Amino acid sequence: MPIYAAPLRDMRFVLNELAGTAALRALPGCEELGPDLIDPVLEGAATFCTEVLLPLNQSGDSEGCTLANGAVRTPQGFREAYDGFRAGGWTALAADPQWGGQGLPKSLGALVEEMICSANLAFGMYPGLSHGAYMAIAKHGSADQQALYLPKLASGEWSGTMCLTEPQCGTDLGLIRTRAAPEPDGSFRITGGKIFISAGEHDLAENIIHLVLAKLPDAPPGTRGISLFVVPKFLPTAAGRPGARNAVTCTGLEHKMGIKASATCAMAFDGATGWLVGRPHRGLAAMFTMMNEARLGVGVQGLGIAEVAYQNAVAYARDRLQGRGLDGAAAPDKPADPILVHPDIRRMLLTMRAMTEGCRALAALVAQAHDVGQRHPDAAARQAADDYVQLMTPIIKALFTDTGWEAAGLGMQVWGGHGYIRDNGMEQFARDARITQIYEGTNGIQALDLVGRKLGTHAGRYLRSFFHPALAFIEAQSEVPAMEPFLLPLSKAFGRLQQVTAEVARRGLSDPFEAGAAASDYLRLFGLTALAFAWARMAEIALRQGPEPEGFYKAKLATARFFMQRILPETSSLAAKCLAGGETLREMDAALF
């Protein structure tokens, strides 16, 4: 069975030393954020993930969910785990204290999320979706809706869903057909079919609160005619208890490549009772205000998978004896050396490690900006922080989920034939990771968001939130000799990114197809450069440390050097691909494919 131990040392490093908790403590509601608060949360989550969630990951994958008479049964043990998850207060971590939450910042929450995703990605979908519904109502619901639903969602007594996709539309939500007809009492009758609804039906919570995109009778066509509705499985009574069964049913469960313990439902709304959330026809905008956070969350899923794949690949590489080191026998008393001695095994492990730790660092920086953007008393400070979050969101979603898939693949490769065997658990990481590149906006859509919405907006203001600090860092460190091995590659990549950004933006202005043609390669170029900046900052911190028995900073520096020499060079090819232009994509006649 796969192992997992939360990387607490590295999590404390990115939170306390890289991002720094001082800025967080300056935020309203975060004044108490010191080790006394942080350590029990991280350690408690680590214990719960290793002891409760991890043991259910493989069994959940084997059993999957089952549908009978409209009821979905989750795999054995999930109900008890969910009860324990609720009892531990984990559903309430990020919720507002006014609704029974703990009001902890994203900076801490994202680390807990990562652990959950490492231990059991499928399980994490249930509270993850509830959090999305919580956010939708918290940001756009009426005071009554908030009072009714938020305490239940925060406590996890009720769970939530996001009902967007229909058979004929995923990316293009303007094609939605689900209808909402107004009733005299102010409610609406919702009619239509939704697919791919995670946690649409299950046996973990006593009620399920669906957030549904649908069209009002007078809706203008396209995406500007979509409204958001709350549609509970059981209509709440006046006392706020689950009452009459609503006309929403699960009509099918998808059989998927992975996350099999997550119920992916086809849902039928047959004149179900719902209530408008926010303003008519503004449902998509409401969804989009949450989308950033959901996309960051999916990015963290990729990171979580990458971490657990790495840990298990290292464990195997230490154990498995095969061949002799090219430098001579490392374990002459044994029949062969551990495969950890082989350079290509090390290349794979260090690739996983450098990407994983780099992503964790970037996630911590963005999570902190998110907290500042949400909580800072000064509007200008909020905006500056939010600019950075806006810019980084598509990068985190796409780069991290690609990393999860690639790391899972490398982990399997380190395990050789044994990585292909289901019992060993490595292949599940790949199957589970694969969906993260697709849902919550495919990674191609993230790339279009970056070049189409983030590049030019506000005369490049978003861009400056990354470019200015990176440039300032490079300038400030340019006289530090020990930083040269990190700063030189960073500067080179940064220069490439600047050049390509200007060119892609210029071409995109006159020809959007050109921007689209460069988008995916550009996102990865940007992402790797952002990781390089994070790695250089981590190296700078590590270089300032004295001797340490643990070797943490020594490993940090070694991994930073590996990143700079063996991963970052990819930016040269990516730049060339971006600059190659879209002509070769346009040239091929549709009929000739």
Please pick, among 440, 475, 550, 587, the residue that the annotation labels catalytic. Answer: 440
Between 367 and 447, CB nearer to a second copy: 447
Residue numbers 19-78 binding a second copy by CB under 8 A: none
Between 149 and 563, CB nearer to a second copy: 563
Q: Which of 88, 100, 170, 236 binds a second copy (CB under 8 A)?
A: 170
Between 205 and 542, CB nearer to a second copy: 542
Q: How far is the CB of 281 from a second copy (least distance, A)?
A: 19
CB under 8 A: which stretch of 12-20, 143-151, 434-442, 455-463 binds a second copy?
Answer: 434-442
Between 275 and 415, CB nearer to a second copy: 415
Nearest to 327 by CA among 315, 350, 343: 343
Q: How far is the CB of 473 from a second copy (least distance, A)?
A: 22
Q: What is the DSSP letter of 178?
A: -
Between 431 and 461, CB nearer to a second copy: 431
* Alpha helices, H only, 89-229: 106-140, 143-155
CA triple 161-163-165, angle to 5 deg: 140
Residue numbers 93-152 binding a second copy by CB under 8 A: none
Question: In the annotation, is 484 catalytic?
Answer: no
Give the amino acid at 588.
M
Identify the residue whose tokens are 């719902």: 274
If you count them, how many residues does the chain have?
A: 593
Judge whether 397 and 296 are in contact, CB under 8 Å: yes
How many Å apart are CA 214 and CA 27, to the nearest integer?
Answer: 38
- Alpha-carbon radius of gyration of the chain: 24
Between 469 and 485, CB nearer to a second copy: 485
Residue numbers 532-591 binding a second copy by CB under 8 A: 551, 554-555, 558-559, 561-562, 565-566, 569-574, 576-577, 580-591
Between 240 and 416, CB nearer to a second copy: 416
Regarding beta strands 264-277 and 248-253, do their DSSP bridges make them parallel or antiparallel, or are they unpaired?
A: antiparallel
Q: Which of 78, 85, 90, 439 binds a second copy (CB under 8 A)?
A: 439
* # residues near a second copy by CB under 8 A: 100
Between 33 and 519, CB nearer to a second copy: 519
Q: How far is the CB of 177 from a second copy (least distance, A)?
A: 10
Sign for the pseudo-dihedral over CA of 511, 514, 520, 523: negative
Coil, helix or strand for 229? strand
Q: From residue 391, how far is each of 296, 327, 456 by CA, in Å?
A: 11, 46, 11
Q: From residue 238, how far is each of 148, 241, 271 by CA, in Å?
A: 10, 7, 22
Site mask, a second copy, residues 337-356, x = CB under 8 A?
A: -x-xxxxxxxxxxx--x---
Q: How far is the CB of 544 from a second copy (least distance, A)?
A: 19
Q: Residue 266 CB: number of other CB atoms within 10 A?
A: 21
Please report, to the nearest 10 degrees, the dihedral formed by the alpha carbons of residues 8, 9, 10, 12 taken in order: 80
Query: Counting contacts by CB under 8 A, is residue 179 touching a second copy?
Result: no
Q: How far is the CB of 587 from a second copy (least distance, A)?
A: 5
Q: How far is the CB of 511 from a second copy (least distance, A)?
A: 8
Q: Which of 122, 135, 308, 430 binds a second copy (CB under 8 A)?
A: 430
Sign for the pseudo-dihedral over CA of 31, 32, 38, 41: negative
Residue numbers 503-532 binding a second copy by CB under 8 A: 512-513, 515-517, 519-520
Regarding beta strands 234-236 and 242-245, do their DSSP bridges make them parallel or antiparallel, or are they unpaired?
A: antiparallel
Judge whether 42 and 12 are in contact, CB under 8 Å: yes
Q: How far is the CB of 566 from a second copy (least distance, A)?
A: 5
Query: Counting contacts by CB under 8 A, is residue 437 touching a second copy?
Result: yes
Between 139 and 431, CB nearer to a second copy: 431
Between 422 and 468, CB nearer to a second copy: 422
Residue numbers 447-486 binding a second copy by CB under 8 A: 447-448
How many Å apart are CA 200 and CA 61, to the nearest integer?
Answer: 18
Judge whether 110 and 299 are in contact, CB under 8 Å: no
Judge whether 75 and 67 are in contact, CB under 8 Å: no
How many Å apart are CA 388 and CA 386, to the nearest integer?
Answer: 5
Between 386 and 432, CB nearer to a second copy: 432
Regarding beta strands 158-163 and 207-214, do their DSSP bridges make them parallel or antiparallel, or are they unpaired?
A: parallel
Using a 10 angstrom Cβ sphere, with 0-12 exposed, 13-18 middle and 19 or more buried, the burial of residue 229 is: buried
Q: How far is the CB of 532 from a second copy (least distance, A)?
A: 14
Q: From residue 194, how far is each of 94, 186, 293 by CA, in Å?
A: 28, 23, 22
Q: Residue 490 CB: number of other CB atoms within 10 A?
A: 26
Q: Which of 119, 284, 435, 483 binds a second copy (CB under 8 A)?
A: 435
Query: Counting contacts by CB under 8 A, is residue 254 touching a second copy?
Result: yes
Residue numbers 296-335 binding a second copy by CB under 8 A: 314, 317-318, 321-323, 325-327, 335
Q: How far is the CB of 413 from a second copy (least distance, A)?
A: 7
Q: Which of 23, 67, 336, 505 binds a second copy (CB under 8 A)?
A: 336
* 106-140 helix and 343-375 helix, angle to the nearest 10 degrees: 50
Residue numbers 190-219 binding a second copy by CB under 8 A: 196
Q: Which of 50, 59, 102, 442 binds a second copy (CB under 8 A)?
A: 442
Judge whether 207 and 149 are in contact, CB under 8 Å: no
Site mask, a second copy, residues 376-415, x = CB under 8 A?
A: -----------------------------x---x--xx--
Identify the residue whose tokens are 């210029």: 506
Q: Which of 217, 417, 546, 547 binds a second copy (CB under 8 A)?
A: 417
Q: How far is the CB of 572 from a second copy (least distance, A)?
A: 5
Q: How far is the CB of 199 from a second copy (least distance, A)?
A: 15
- Residues tagged active-site: 440
